[in-house]
Amino acid sequence: MITYSRDDDGIVTLTLDDPGQSANTMNATYVAAMSAAVDRLHAERDTVTGVIVTSAKKTFFAGGDLPSMARATPEDAPALFKLLSTIKGDFRRLETYGRPVVAAINGAALGGGLEVALACHHRIALDTPGTRLGFPEVTLGLLPGAGGVTRTVRMLGLAPALTTWLLTGRRYRPADALAHGLVDALASTPAEMLTQAREWILANPDAAQPWDREGYRIPGGLPAAQLPAYPATLRKQLKGASLPAPEKILATAVEGAQVDFETAQVIETRHLITLLTGRIAKNMIGALFFDMRAVNGGLARPAVEVPPATRVAVLGAGMMGAGIAQACAKAGLPVVVKDVTPELAARAAGPGITTTADVADLAGCDVVIEAVFEDPALKRDVFAEVLPVVAPDALLASNTSTLPITGLAEGVSRPGDFIGMHFFSPVGKMPLLEIVVGARTSDAAVARAFDLGRRIGKTPIVVNDGRGFFTSRVIGTFIDEAIGMLAEGVPAPSIEHAALQAGYPTGPLALADEVSLTLVQRIRRQFEAASDSYERLPSHELVDAMVDKHDRPGRSSGRGFYAYGEEKRTGLWDGLVSLATPEGRSVPLADLRDRFLFAEALDAQRCLAEGVLRTAEDGNIGSILGIGYPAWTGGVLRFADQHDDFRGRAAELAARYGDRFAPV
């Protein structure tokens, strides 16, 4: 696991190289090897002038051993405390060794990997495109517990450590990590990095950590007057949601800053163990590590060999079309964007992108992605125009968010090559791609769409056809529930606050404005037209009144559930009160929160039962990445599975608020 070599200058290089994994992690193999390496360093101290810690992998160190973390129970707390104390003890023996220690960071150093580097006196990062440094633990419901909080606070000061590194989960490029204080130097090649490391060791024989030098004070001191404001600031950042990981990170940082280093380490360990043995961290690790790995690894991809995409045609140069074109071009694919006029097509211009109004320019494209207005006739027309020109076996994809793929495929001569590729807006930021399989879509088309999605950096879930598919259907349930609450007489601020406190990234009424109430209305009317048994709800009446009577179609028009000024929300519209049921009713905040969470979870269970969802993993990842289901739940289906009494609570909600909450 760790190769130990000493050169003629007495510099020892510890090379991390786990023989059983493609990346180094803080597993049992590492722990034993690091203890042995530090033991040997101390035994041979008189012959050592310095130490370089580096890696033989493509990355430096991937972080903690998440599979073992996910199994931790409260009964494991004593063993976890002992394990963490061993890891921290070895780091402490390394940084107090009395010889300069340099981290030569030859690739990504995330979480535990960055903690390895922080236990060194000097950090040199290889400045390559793939190198990232950061503490993603907060995004998994954890905290950096191998000294990460303690050292970062002592290195940078309380506020910079929290706001830049610990609470954000951000992964920084080497230059940004240098600017933000956790990296000391950059190198352009591995050889240069090791040369810099040796030179620094020889120039700094008395190196020590700042906190081990006499007279050390935390940068900026302890802002005693500001300490009471930290919890309030965090609460504001979390929009009222109660999430244990950021709260524990704040507590660890503030408590640890007021005691000596060793005591701070113990505080950090105890807070991490509380998170490790809790439910929320298991939910988040389950979704954002295990489910994500399964989905990106091709869990739902048919096992067929298909050729890679070579040239992409995008039909429509609006916001979605331009975003799709840019994502493909960024991945190195030649892209041709067609619209009805050269001027409209030019909206999508960019590096690697050709824009045109001439269908002949699409000759040879082996992927077609249509991103025009949500109108079935228009979509069929644009495909009919390009089919004679593009490659005879081109993948034919529609970026529809709701229209059934099977119906759209009836307008093309090759329905086996026709598929849905539902991108999310803005395409450049949203990581999810929902691949929708029609009744006649071939396995080869699914595999080609999946491979293209991975190539352009998306996480592709694969779902079967159905109106609204998975994501649009389930997020529609969320918006419907909110508007239904409004129709019941629940105050609009309570609706928005309940969703935020449940952990949703935005309130459902604000989201409805962003989507546009006109689109919500049009999709619902399409549903009504397609079904003889579609139930009309009070929320539908309210949307119709907002659009048709009050001319408040949403944010794009500056008028919706919210009022807008200078393109910003200025507050909820005063007229909402007049749209509610006059008598109204008081609904407990806990019921409001659960109505959102349960409405989506129950609909997701129906999607799985009906075969719209192919796998639970796709449902969990799709709900978190695509429609903002709270990450602390571990995803929409995991929320139901891990709830103490999901069916009982659902039955309780059904008795109070309607049969839509009846357990599946």
Domains and CATH numbers, the chain: 2-277 (3.90.226.10), 312-453 (3.40.50.720), 471-661 (1.10.1040.50)
- What was the pLDDT predicted at 468? 86
Cα–Cα distance measured from residue 566 to residue 568, given in angstroms and rounded to the nearest whole number: 6
Residue 80 C-alpha from the chain's centroid = 28
Task: Mark residue 93 as left, alpha or beta (left: phi above 0; alpha: psi -120 to 50; beta: remaining).
Answer: alpha
Q: Go through 26-51 and write b for each residue having 16 or more CB atoms within 10 A of its CB, e for each that does not.
A: bbebbbebbbebbebbeeeeeebbbb
Question: Which letter does DSSP use for residue 350 in this model?
Answer: B
Cα–Cα distance measured from residue 586 to residue 592, given in angstroms and rounded to the nearest whole number: 10
Cβ burial, residue 250 (10 Å; 0-12/13-18/19+): buried
- What was the pLDDT predicted at 533? 67
Furthest CA-CA distance within the chain: 87
- What was the pLDDT predicted at 205? 96
- What was the pLDDT predicted at 536? 77
Residues of the chain under the 70 pLDDT cut: 223, 225, 533, 582-585
Cα–Cα distance measured from residue 539 to residue 486, given in angstroms and rounded to the nearest whole number: 8
pTM of the predicted protein model: 0.91
Cα–Cα distance measured from residue 443 to residue 261, given in angstroms and rounded to the nearest whole number: 58
DSSP string, 198-219: HHHHHH-TT---GGGSTT---T
- What was the pLDDT predicted at 87? 97
Pairing of strands 395-398, 367-370: parallel
- What was the pLDDT predicted at 496? 96
3-state secondary structure 591-659: HHHHHHHHHHHHHHHHHHHHCCECCHHHHHHHHHHHHCCCHHHCCHHHHHHHCCCHHHHHHHHHHHHCH
Cα–Cα distance measured from residue 161 to residue 154, given in angstroms and rounded to the nearest whole number: 9
The 10s digit of each residue's pLDDT in 416-439 is 999 999 999 999 999 999 999 999
What positions carry a catalytic annotation?
115, 137
- What was the pLDDT predicted at 225? 64
Q: Are 283 and 634 in contact (CB under 8 A)?
A: yes
Of 576, 632, 605, give the one whose Cα is nearest residue 241: 632
Of 403, 382, 279, give the one whose Cα is nearest residue 421: 403
CB within 8 Å of 342: residues ≥ 6 apart: 355, 356, 357
